[in-house]
Amino acid sequence: MTASQAMDIQHGLSIDSDWWRGAVIYQIYPRSYQDSNGDGIGDLLGIVQRLPYIASLGVDAIWISPVFSSPMKDFGYDVSDYCDIDPMFGSLADFDAVIDTAHALGLRVMIDLVLSHTSDQHPWFQASRQSRESDKSNWYVWADPKPDGTPPNNWLSIFGGSAWHWETRRCQYYLHNFLTSQPDLNFHEPAVQSALLDVAQFWLDRGVDGFRLDTINFYFHDASLRDNPPLAPEKRNSTIAPAVNPYNHQEHLYSKNRPENLDFLRKLRAVMKPYNAAAVGEVGDAQRGLEIMGQYTAGDDLMQMCYAFELLSGDQPSASDVARIMKRVGEVASEGWACWAYSNHDVTRHTTRWKLTPAAERAFATLMMCLRGSACLYQGEELGLQEASLDFADLQDPYGIEFWPEYKGRDGCRTPMVWEDSNLHGGFSTAPRTWLPVPSDHLRHSVASAEADPSALIHHYRKAIAFRHSHAALRKGKMVDLSAEGDVLRFLRRTDDETIFCAFNMSDVPAELTLPKGDWHPVGAELNSAHPGADGKVHLGPWQPCLAFRAS
């Protein structure tokens, strides 16, 4: 790439204020992407090495899971210093190299900000736990015990048991929605909000283009510490926590999802605005995720995007499921913007979770690129990687260790990326042992093998992403005329200039449909789109889409 071309890319990155709308974001789990120094753990310079590959997919941005200083009790989601890089991953200079290389390739960089809680090793918590007179005494959520010494209320931790832990130095409990080593910050304290906004400013000044906001709906707690009400068994949903976790037995009205959060999000958006930065928030709620997504992305003074867990669910979505979800988004988030994902670092890989055939894998990839919203792809998804099956002795995830064997945790989706099929660790590392083992059956799906096979899934992902980019209606248009007719999902994506007809046979059985009236032209032949007959009838094979274009 010439210097002039690099400058053109940088200029394009800087001027598109709406870049996030319809963007395709590639999630990197850094521990498992590429090891550059032979210690068995992925790092920042490994990401630099592989950025040209990511750019070749045609995505718009990368999201990097946390690389901040951390004792790694929850693999970086327990931060001990928000403004430094953990030596495991490299240095601030290495992070700068990621930024510079990504930008030169036309990729924006989003980092994972974990604001709801810190590590118990963070200096803020170390000061707060010392005494009730500390200058940071109120920076975390502290509460006196009940008269009988038990926790102040019934709130539960996602990782099991009470969400309260006793601190002998203060003779009080502190709140932890996750591990006991992840104390929750007190967002009712203005100094906490100010400090976290400074963290965002630090990374924006360093060149990041936005944030993935971990557990965005957990920031505030009910100041009165009211008990959560029980949740009726028929309303329980294991999307956020496994079914064996008692967390599912409560309706979490008071431990999260508080209305005060909106004011803080407005402050964060104001910090981001001069940088043309964007954020995507993770909404962790099994009952009201879509509604909260709509609240947090309404208008232009809150977050640009949020994702709920509807398409991260355990059951393979049917045509009617997708239609129901998208209709609900239209009802509760008409002024907002969704960001969809099938897989990430917290859930079983969707190819395994939904038991997808190769044809279904391709259909779901095409569907993702046609849905209204932005899209997140998780590393290895483009290779069709299955969930890894690990022995208990190999587990690292405290979540899986706690609930084994009914729930095996998140390690199975976090195993290292496979780059070569002839290398012991798939080209990920030269170490004798990697932090998680590389499954032998992943090697045949390596990047090298996929690149050499014209029929491999990776080529379909490239075509689907390119198809999305070639049509403004798919990136930023409205979704109208949405319906499910049997196993066929159909809808229109529309801007003032173009309309794209999208239909998907979401089954193993052939189906038939008729195009709407109009001057339609077939598109997406590279995605196995069915060709309409002269009478407008379309015969769809199993898992086959029909894609057509007309001028609006």
Q: Where are the alpha helices (DSSP H) in 22-90?
A: 44-56
Q: Which two tokens stand for residue 430?
A: 């030269």
> Cα dist. 41→80, 112, 411, 417 in Å?
19, 19, 14, 11
The CA distance from 510 to 512, in Å, is: 7
How far is residue 366's CA from residue 551's CA, in Å, rounded to a whole number? 21
CA distances in angstroms from 478 to 42, 158, 192, 308, listed in the order given: 40, 36, 39, 20
Name, in order, each residue with C-beta under 8 angstroms of 162's C-beta and a sequence gap of 6 or more.
151, 155, 156
Alpha helices in 206-318 (DSSP H): 261-272, 289-296
Measure the CA–CA gap between 360 and 138, rounded to whole angstroms: 52
Known catalytic membership, residue 497: no
Catalytic: 214? yes
User: How far is Cα 210 from Cα 216, in angstroms, rounded to an integer?
Assistant: 14
Residue with tokens 């290495």: 94
142 Cβ contact list (under 8 Å, min separation 6): 128, 132, 167, 170, 172, 173, 174, 175, 186
The catalytic position among 60, 214, 310, 346 is: 214
Catalytic residue among 282, 310, 382, 487: 282
Q: Write down the residue that tokens 């990136």 correspond to.
A: 475
Going along 33-178, which residue ranges are E strands? 61-64, 68-69, 81-85, 108-113, 142-143, 164-167, 172-175
Radius of gyration of the chain (CA): 23
Question: Helix 358-370 and helix 457-469: axis angle, to 10°?
Answer: 20
Q: What is the Cα–Cα distance from 552 to 60, expressed in whole angstroms?
A: 26
- Residue 462's Cβ-count burial label (10 Å; 0-12, 13-18, 19+) is middle
**501 in Cβ contact with 516 (< 8 Å):** yes
Strand 61-64 vs strand 108-113: parallel, antiparallel, or unpaired?
Answer: parallel
**CA 224 to chain CA centroid, nearest Å:** 32
Specify burial of residue 455 (Cβ count, 10 A radius: 0-12, 13-18, 19+).
Answer: exposed
Sign of CA dihedral 159, 162, 168, 174: positive
Token pair in block for residue 208: 């990041």
Report the candidate in 54, 56, 73 with the shortest Cα–Cα distance to residue 64.
54
Residues recognised as catalytic = 214, 282
